[in-house]
A and B are shown apart, each in its own frame.
Chain A
């Protein structure tokens, strides 16, 4: 079975540009999470979807960040406009509701904002 698929793996952009990160969760999983990882702050939960509905977006840093999950097999995390402090690795993870809460992570999208 395919795991969580994220794209792009690497993104380099200039400040002010729009960035869109994409995620395909594992088929059958109905919980999806976006995390951000930095040296300073470690792993931070940005947003959590259940059955395609955003349940908790309290971790989204500010209005420049938005996330959508139009269907069970696709989610996006958008940053507009991007800033250098957004540079980080962004992970998508999915899990099966009714399971033990184990998260399956993608390989991450490394974002560099110049």
Chain B
């Protein structure tokens, strides 16, 4: 069975500081991994994805994530957060023929001035 754990429910970070969101997954084969962001009242928007190749992937809005197979992790990072990065972030895992994604519970990011 596939599953995703996001250990941090809520993170508060100062504007300009770095951000790292943790994601651990369980998947029986080579995973496809995703990070989505949801702003209040909006749908989910894809930040970045990994399915093969370079384990460090770049996404939109200055985000990057690193796939570490040995740790079953896919942590999201941003060197310097902006107030507009305040949102909820979801990690998801999938792959194979059915393309169903399993989502983590999400991490809410608050950015303080």
Q: How many A-B residue pairs have CB under 8 A?
A: 49
Residue pair A55, B43 in contact (C-beta under 8 Å):
no
Known contacts A101-B95, A102-B46, A45 near B100 by CB under 8 Å: yes
Q: Which residues of chain B are near A34, meaning CB under 8 Å?
A: none
- The number of residues on chain A lying at the interface, defined by a beta carbon within 8 Å of a beta carbon of chain B, is 23
Q: Which residues of chain B are near A99, meaning CB under 8 Å?
A: 99
Residue pair A103, B98 in contact (C-beta under 8 Å):
no
Taking Cβ atoms with an 8 Å cutoff, the residues of A that contact B are 4, 31, 33, 42-43, 45, 48, 55-56, 91, 93, 95, 97, 99-108
Known contacts A43-B103, A102-B49, A91 near B95 by CB under 8 Å: no
- Sorting the interface of chain B by its residue count into under 10, 10 to 19, 20 to 34 or 35 or more gives 20 to 34
Residue pair B99, A101 in contact (C-beta under 8 Å):
yes
Residue pair B44, A101 in contact (C-beta under 8 Å):
no
Q: List 27 A-B contacts (CB under 8 A).
A: A4-B43, A33-B100, A42-B103, A42-B105, A43-B103, A43-B106, A48-B100, A56-B98, A56-B100, A91-B43, A93-B44, A100-B32, A100-B49, A101-B32, A101-B34, A101-B94, A101-B99, A102-B34, A102-B46, A103-B34, A103-B92, A103-B101, A104-B46, A105-B36, A106-B43, A108-B42, A108-B43
B90 interface hit (Cβ, 8 Å): yes
Known contacts A42-B106, A43-B90, A105 near B95 by CB under 8 Å: no
> Could you list 13 further interchain pairs (A-B, Cβ under 8 angstroms) beyond the known A33-B100, A55-B98, A106-B43?
A48-B98, A56-B100, A100-B32, A100-B51, A101-B32, A101-B51, A101-B99, A102-B34, A102-B46, A103-B34, A103-B92, A105-B44, A107-B43
Residue pair B42, A107 in contact (C-beta under 8 Å):
yes
